[in-house]
Structure 1
Amino acid sequence: MNKHWAVQDAKAKFSELLNACLEEGPQVVTKRGHEAAVLITIQEWNTLKKLAKPSLKSLLLSEQAKGDLVLPKRGQGAFRKSIKL
């Protein structure tokens, strides 16, 4: 069961919060009555990281996506000449 901790209680009783996380599972920290953060075990964190999909940006910028394409450094690309009408 997820227990909710007010931020001031979480700060004052961090050891208790950590032990509750390890023994009972994720613990929710609230700020001004709104859920703000969750404390989870490192095992849960590592599992979530493995399950997370990469973003489109990271996929497009990956070495595999670049292939033989040579990308100019930012601000050094070729510019189109303006056409006067």
Structure 2
Amino acid sequence: MWTVQDAKNKFSAVVDAALAGTPQEVTRRGKPAVVILSADEYHRLLEGAVSARMSFADHLMAFPGGEFARLEAKPRDVSF
């Protein structure tokens, strides 16, 4: 894991490690900020996410249908 300052100072080493197949995590103010990974790995992840995604219509159609038990609600008495 790299701090932003260390990653800036040794950017070539960060890129070389990412190209070697090890994603590099960078923190800002002690909190995780970004991950640097190779372009091939990024495209592989992106392709997998896009191919697994359904269309919005397919998502709606996949909702489990059927009858649901409904409560018998009656209006309350109101006096003026």
Give the alignment partner of residue 5 of structure 1, picking from 2, 5, 14.
Answer: 2
The 1-side partners of 2:3 and 2:19 are apart by 18
Alignment of 1:1-85 (within 5 A): 4-53=1-50, 54=53, 59=56
Q: Deviations over 1:10-51 (max 9, x none)?
A: 011100111111225100000011110000011110011111
When the two structures are superposed, what TM-score results if normalisation uses the length of structure 2?
0.59
The 1-side partners of 2:13 and 2:4 are apart by 13
Q: In angstroms, what is the RMSD of aligned CA positions?
A: 1.9
Q: Percent identity?
A: 40
When the two structures are superposed, what TM-score results if normalisation uses the length of structure 1?
0.56
Q: Which runs of 5+ in 2 are unaligned?
A: 58-80
Q: Which one has a bigger Cα radius of gyration? A: 2
